[in-house]
Chains A and B, each alone.
Chain A
Amino acid sequence: MNLLTIAWKSIKQRLLASSLTALSVALGVALMIAVLVINGVVGRIFSQSGSGYDLVVGAQGGSELQLVLSSIYRIGKPYDNLPWRFYEELQDYAGVDQVVPLCFGDTTSDEEGSFPIIGTLPRFFGLNYAPDRSFGIKGEILKGTWDAVIGSEVARVNGWDIGSEFKMVHGGVQDHVHDERFTVRGILAPTGTPNDKTVYIHLRGFFMLDDHAKPASEAIERIATLYGEDIGELRTKYTDLLTKEAAAQKSGQHVHHHGGIPDIQKEVTALLVLTKSPSASFFLTGKLREGVIAQAVNPVSVMYQLMQNLVGNVRYALMVLTGLIIIVSGIGIFVSIYNSMSDRKREIAIMRALGASRQQVFSIILLEAIVLTLGGGLLGLALGHGLVFAAAPIVATRSGLLIDPMHFETIELWIIPALLAMATLIGILPGLTAYRTDVAKALYD
């Protein structure tokens, strides 16, 4: 038998009160764990979804946040498009390792979930979507012009599988549906990122669709403006194109490009860039900033700032709230132990008469507070993760958000020391009452 056993016996003697107070700590800690884990998951989704790419490049004029939100998170619309020529030039830039074009704006129909559709190249799936996380794909990766790869949520919501077909809604306008049908050839494994809610089609197919080519006259004007070239010379160079477009407009028909859209009429919405080194990213960003065509941003730093300014505050508020709940539970333990002290004076006096020192009876009460608080805390840790474990599949089904219930936030490591400090504070006053007990008086009262 030791002091801890004696403290444990005391706790068992007041089992109901002890259990309830420990449970209140457990619930507080469980709540904190749930907040931490879910917040951590949301944070990671925000900050890591685009972290597989060094830079995201888009048209100048819009905000950096708008560019990242539209191209990585598929939230909102991009400011403008980039000419195809810029994409080709960027591939030849010395510090660039890989450039993957993204063309977006179309969606699936409302009945099919209004999921964003992105035209891209097969190599998009070769890039990591987050550090050390590569796409898992069932089926094929955009081999044919009319092939599509869909995210796991798109497949789940629509019940699509390999071989399913769909049409695209142009610009999300429901009455403008492209005639062409795309066939699902690949399904992405869940990633817990916006990729799960996205449809990818081959860029070649994307450019084959009506209205996906910029009118030749506008395209020529834009190239002249952006690159400072002579518009007259450009018009001469593309006379055939302009003539064909004018004729089509007159007859109210679409221009049909046999052999594909000419490059001058092609546009991309954003470019995902992998550079050869961090310094290359830095120099490319600076160089683009000097020009008028494009801007490059690091998606991680943009999202980190957003997290800090917006989500960070919410997290902080929730942490404070759950912290207060734990403190209130701690006060409950204090009240429970302190109230029991008047009934236990005789018990303490007996121990003192048997030879227990003041320090030993103080330690017994302190241990009691520590056992109750830490026991409640550990139960709370298990409950919290259990709660997340139970909720994870439900959350995944309803929102597509992947939560790893076994994931531990670093801040959780502080919970136990913090509870230990709280238990010490809780135990001090009742401990001092035990310490000061008048043995002779308590024994014979």
Chain B
Amino acid sequence: MSLLLQDVRKSYREPDGSPLPVLNIARFEVKPAEQVALIGQSGGGKTTLLNVISGITSPDSGLVQVDGVDITRLHEVSRDRFRAERIGIVFQTFNLLPAFSALENVLLGMTFSSRVDRKYARNLLEQVGLSHRLNHRPGQLSVGEQQRVSVARALANRPKLMLADEPTASVDMAHQDTILSLLRTACSENNVSLLLVTHSPEVSSQFERVEELTAFNKPEAAA
């Protein structure tokens, strides 16, 4: 199993101190190389779910198993390292570092896993059609190109699981399909599981498996 969530609960605190349950997931799984579209309302806990899966946020309880490892049991440093090595993240706003070139942004993804491979980074950028833009900074790239760099960076450490948070939301309609296709192809070619969060029916309709967050996340039951 690439991803397994079991009895995962996460609450935040309201300003008055009362708990605000956001996640209450009995079970959710993604198989190796499987591609899943996750849809849900804004404020429904999609981002928190991705943060919990990536280990950025710790759940209050439950099992979060990625590639066979329960990341909730890892020490923070090990969890950071694990995230660097096995999880790729594509953000809605790309989150490229402006001072770094396209190639350097991809290399940055490798730096924290200590597996810097310049040749592979070039290959990835070539794979996303940016071999002619290696030394361009994000400010010198189009929105679509920036998102492609973001995809290449997420693949930099040969992850087992790719998390994509509305990756086409900031891209115009003309580029949405390209980005999506690129992401899906890259994941299949590299045997990476993909969990893509979207609120766009056009995007989710392209996936064989589409999950509604509210179908398996019942925060109100935890209240």
Q: Given the complex of chains A and B, what is the CA–CA distance between A352 and B84 in angstroms?
A: 9
Bound CA–CA A400/B97 (angstroms): 58
Q: Residue B56 contacts which of A3, A12, A360, A439 (CB distance < 8 angstroms)?
A: A439
A13 and B98 contact, CB distance less than 8 A: yes
A350 to chain B, nearest CB (A): 5
Residues of B within 8 A of A1 (CB): 104, 107-108, 110-111, 116
Q: What's the count of A-B pairs with C-beta under 8 Å?
A: 74
Interface string of A427-445 (1 = CB under 8 A from B): 0000000000001100110
Listed residue (B57, B97, B104) with the most chain A CB atoms within 10 angstroms of its CB: B97
CA distance A13 to B81 in the complex (A): 27
Could you tell me the distance in whole angstroms from the C-beta of A189 to the nearest C-beta in chain B? 56
**Alpha-carbon gap, A355 to B89, bound state (A):** 10
A2 to B47 alpha-carbon distance, docked (Å): 30
Tell me the B84-134 residues at the A interface (CB within 8 Å).
84-85, 89, 91, 95, 97-100, 104, 107-113, 116
- Nearest-neighbour CB distance to chain B for A305, whole angstroms, equals 58
* Interface residue? B177 (CB, 8 A): no
Q: Are A440 and B51 in contact (CB under 8 A)?
A: yes
CB of B80 closer than 8 Å to a CB of A? yes
In angstroms, how far is the closest chain A Cβ from the Cβ of B157? 8
Q: Are A444 and B47 also in contact (CB < 8 A) when A9-B104, A354-B89 are? A: yes
Given A12-B99, A444-B47, verify A355-B83 contact (CB < 8 Å): yes
Query: Contacts A1-B116, A9-B104 hold; do A353 and B111 have CB atoms under 8 A apart?
Result: no
Which of B47, B77, B104, B157 is close to A357, meaning CB atoms less than 8 Å apart?
B77
Residues of A near B7 (CB, < 8 A) are none
Would you call A440 and B99 a contact (CB within 8 A)? no
Cβ B99 vs Cβ A356 within 8 A: no
A9 and B77 contact, CB distance less than 8 A: no
User: Chain B residues near A140 (CB, 8 Å)?
Assistant: none
Q: Contacts of B113 on A, CB cut-off 8 Å?
A: 355
B54 (CB) vs chain A CBs: closest residue: A353
Q: Which residues of B contact A355 (CB under 8 A)?
A: 80-81, 83-85, 109, 112-113, 157
Taking CB atoms and an 8 Å cut-off, the chain B residues in 23-54 that contact chain A are: 47-48, 51, 54
Q: Could you tell me which residues of chain A, from 387 to 445, have a CB within 8 Å of some CB in chain B? A: 439-440, 443-444
Q: Does B76 contact A (CB under 8 A)?
A: yes
Classify chain B's interface size: 20 to 34
| A444 to B108 Cα, complex, angstroms | 20
Q: Is the CB of A9 within 8 A of B83?
A: no
B163 CB to nearest A CB, Å = 10
* Residue of A whose beta carbon sits closest to that of B116: A1
The chain A residue sitting closest to B104, CB to CB, is A1
Do B95 and A353 touch across chains, with their CB atoms under 8 A apart?
Answer: yes
Answer yes or no: A214 CB below 8 A from chain B CBs.
no
Task: Please name all residues of chain B whose beta carbon is closer than 8 Å to the beta carbon of A162 when the two chains form the complex.
Answer: none
B111 and A2 contact, CB distance less than 8 A: yes
Q: Does A351 contact B (CB under 8 A)?
A: yes
Which residues does chain A contribute within 8 Å of B47, judged by CB atoms?
A: 440, 444
A359-B77 contact in complex given A6-B108, A354-B84, A354-B108, C-beta closer than 8 Å: yes
Tally of chain A residues near chain B (CB < 8 A): 25
Is A443 a contact of B91 with CB atoms below 8 Å? yes
Cβ-defined contact, B95 with A350, below 8 A: yes
A315 an interface residue at 8 Å Cβ cutoff? no
Q: Interface readout for B60-89 with A: 1 if CB under 8 Å, 0 if not?
A: 000000000000000011001101110001
Q: Which residue of A lies closest to B153 (CB)?
A: A354
Q: Which residues of chain A come closer than 8 Å to B110, judged between CB atoms?
A: 1
Q: Is A358 an interface residue (CB 8 A)?
A: yes
Give min CB distance, B17 to chain A, whole Å: 19
Pick the residue among B77, B97, B116 that contacts A347 (CB under 8 A). Answer: B97
Contact between B54 and A9, CB atoms less than 8 A apart: no
Question: Which residue of the partner chain B has the closest CB to A9?
Answer: B99
**A356's contact among B51, B85, B112, by CB below 8 Å, is which?**
B112
Least CB distance, B69 to chain A, in whole angstroms: 14
Q: In whole angstroms, what is the CA distance A55 to B91 when docked?
A: 83
Contacts of A354 in B (CB 8 A): 83-84, 89, 108-109, 112, 153
Which residues of A are found within 8 Å of B95, using beta-carbon distances?
A: 346, 350, 353, 443
Q: How far apart sit A443 and B99, CA to CA, in the bound complex (Å)? A: 18
- Hey, which chain B residues are within 8 Å of A444, CB to CB? 47
Considering the complex, give the chain A residue whose CB is closest to the CB of B109: A354
Contact of B76 among A2, A347, A358 (CB under 8 A): A358
A19 partner residues in chain B, CB cutoff 8 A: none
Q: Does A10 contact B (CB under 8 A)?
A: yes
A439 to B47, CA, bound (A): 12
Interface set, chain A 336-372, CB cutoff 8 A to B: 346-347, 350-360
Known contacts: A10-B99, A13-B98, A357-B77. The answer to whether A352 contacts B111 by CB under 8 A is: no
Complex CA distance for A357 and B79, rounded to whole angstroms: 9
- Cross-chain contact B80 with A352 (CB below 8 angstroms): yes
Taking CB atoms, residues of chain A closer than 8 Å to B84 are 354-356
Please provide the 6 A-B residue pairs with the shortest distance between their CB atoms, ordered closest to farther. Answer: A355-B84, A355-B112, A13-B99, A357-B80, A1-B107, A356-B112
Taking Cβ atoms with an 8 Å cutoff, the residues of A that contact B are 1-3, 6, 9-10, 12-13, 346-347, 350-360, 439-440, 443-444
Q: A3-B111, A355-B157, A439-B56 are in contact. List 13 more A-B contacts (CB 8 A).
A: A1-B104, A1-B107, A1-B111, A12-B99, A351-B108, A352-B80, A353-B54, A354-B89, A354-B109, A355-B83, A355-B109, A356-B80, A357-B80
5 contacts between A and B (CB under 8 A): A9-B99, A12-B99, A351-B97, A355-B80, A355-B85
